[in-house]
Amino acid sequence: MSATNMDLLRFATAGSVDDGKSTLIGRLLLDSKSIFEDQLEAVEATSEAKGYDYTDLALLTDGLRSEREQGITIDVAYRYFATPNRKFIIADTPGHVQYTRNMVTGASTADLGLVLVDARQGLTEQSRRHAVILSLLRVPHLVLAVNKMDLVDFDQQVYENIYREFTQFATKLNVPDLEVIPISALQGDNVVTRSENMPWYSGPTLMHHLEHVHVASDRDLIDARFPVQYVIRPKSDEFHDYRGYAGQVAGGVLKPGDEVVVLPSGMTSKIARIDLFDKEITEAFPPMSVTVHLEDDVDVSRGDMIARVKNAPAPSQDIDAMICWMTTTPLQPRQKLAIKHTTRTGRALVKDIQYRLDVNTLHRDQATNELGVNEIGRVTLRTTVPLLCDPYSKNRTTGSFILIDEATGVTVGAGMING
């Protein structure tokens, strides 16, 4: 697979207030030489003006003014940096319970979740909740960074206790890959360079783990899924008979000559060729955006899906999903909403709320009849158009959807389809 797609790692960070998350990101940017000297000088000057006896690296990342003044992170902020081995996109998400929806947004596309805990505090309710949300969103790799080890004198026992408690808790969750790393973001121990203060720790540094964690096999490369986003018909003299279907590959590998079916019509054809920009390619895989040409003139429009003949998603109008509710007006049965799933849009009726999930204890509250803002629950929907979906556990693109308030056009819910 081409290097351009496989050397990118998206990761989401989560931590309670004052766990040092912004400082850690500042340290990653600084030690990977991803910030300019004048940025660093500005931060040093601000730190000095505030009377700190150290450089406050958090100032590099807390972009919103209200955050810098309060010293907390509110919105999802995306940061980009690169090392010779890999490119990174960080979704820096807020830790407060009232910003659960921001965290869901930031983590929904992440390959790895980075949860920070303060070595002095140990595991808090917040860090447990962050781990639960990351596992609900099927983020395949999880790192627990035990920060501020300098404030507990780099004590191995403190690390061991947190390690034991967290790995025990993680057995209840769906965490395929877990790494626990002791660090000091402020001083740089085990972030990019190995710590001389913790000779007892033999695992990787945080940056080494981020650079080498294997994400190529996390995507579904078996079940071919291609939601059509746009039909390209230039109708010019030069491209008189050009008819291509543009979109982003959501699963599997597509190749010229493959027998495919167009859903929901059920018409079959073969892939004639695949274009990437202005050149033909021999295969397409997630998350590539390509144009597919079929051998036959079949009726294909936006919202349709191209899949393999013997491996196609079953169209369904009854949807059972976990939903994170994002607005102050609660979600209630009989409510009507717009739904957007891949490139397909329709309307949905809330049939039933089965339970609300307490993300701190994993308790299922079946007595509830509504979901409030930032709450997560299991809901049954009936849609006006059949959705061409897979379980979220199998495909995070075709297994997710958003709910939209028809009156305002605001996104009010994010859903993950159950098997």
- Between CA 120 and CA 118 the distance in angstroms is 5
- Between CA 391 and CA 99 the distance in angstroms is 26
CA nearest neighbour of 225 among 104, 387, 402: 387
Which pLDDT tens digit goes with each residue over 85-105?
Answer: 899 998 888 767 777 778 888
| DSSP secondary structure letters along 3-29 | HHHHTEEEEEEEE-TTSSHHHHHHHHH
What's 408's DSSP letter? Answer: T
- Residue 2 pLDDT more than 50? no
Average pLDDT over residues 118-136: 88
Contact 261, 267 (CB under 8 A): yes
Which pLDDT tens digit goes with each residue over 287-323?
Answer: 899 999 999 989 999 999 999 999 999 899 999 999 9
| DSSP secondary structure letters along 319-345 | EEEEEEE-SSSPB-TT-EEEEEETTEE
- Between CA 395 and CA 224 the distance in angstroms is 11
Both structure tokens of 273: 């060729």
**Cis status of the peptide bond prior to 234, with omega within 30 of 0:** no
Instruction: Decide if domain 7-218 falls under CATH 3.40.50.300.
Output: yes
Is 88 strand, coil or helix?
strand
- Residue 67 pLDDT more than 90? no
| Every domain of the chain and the residues it spans | 7-218, 225-308, 316-417
Question: In the CATH scheme, what is the code of domain 316-417?
Answer: 2.40.30.10
**Dihedral, CA atoms, 160, 188, 179, 2, nearest 10 degrees?**
-170
Query: Residue ranges of the alpha helices (H) in 199-277?
Result: 206-212
Average pLDDT over residues 326-352: 95
The residues with which 336 forms a beta bridge, in sequence order, are: 349
225-308 shares its CATH topology with 316-417? yes
Contact 16, 118 (CB under 8 A): yes
- Residue 70 pLDDT more than 70? no
- Residue 60 pLDDT more than 70? no
- Residue 281 pLDDT more than 50? yes
The residues with which 113 forms a beta bridge, in sequence order, are: 12, 142
Band of pLDDT at residue 69, cut at 50, 70 and 90: very low
Average pLDDT over residues 73-78: 64
Mean pLDDT of the chain: 87
Q: What's the Cα-to-Cα distance from 299 to each of 231, 241, 274, 293, 311, rounded to whole Å?
A: 10, 15, 18, 12, 20
Q: E strands, 282-410, where? A: 289-294, 305-308, 315-325, 336-341, 344-357, 364-365, 376-388, 400-404
Exposed / middle / buried, residue 155 (Cβ in 10 Å: 0-12, 13-18, 19+): middle
CA nearest neighbour of 249 among 236, 240, 238, 258: 258
**Cis status of the peptide bond prior to 287, with omega within 30 of 0:** yes
Q: How many CB atoms lie within 10 A of CB 7?
A: 16
- Residue 329 pLDDT more than 90? yes
CA nearest neighbour of 111 among 236, 207, 8, 32: 8
Which pLDDT tens digit goes with each residue over 100-112?
Answer: 778 888 888 899 9
Side chain identity at residue 241, one-letter code: D
Band of pLDDT at residue 63, cut at 50, 70 and 90: low
Predicted local distance difference test score (pLDDT) of residue 71: 47
- Residue 114 pLDDT more than 60? yes
- Residue 68 pLDDT more than 60? no
More confident residue, 124 or 317: 317
CATH class of 225-308: mainly beta
Q: How far is CA 312 from the centre of its chain?
A: 25
Predicted local distance difference test score (pLDDT) of residue 54: 65
Average pLDDT over residues 43-50: 74
Is 102 strand, coil or helix?
helix
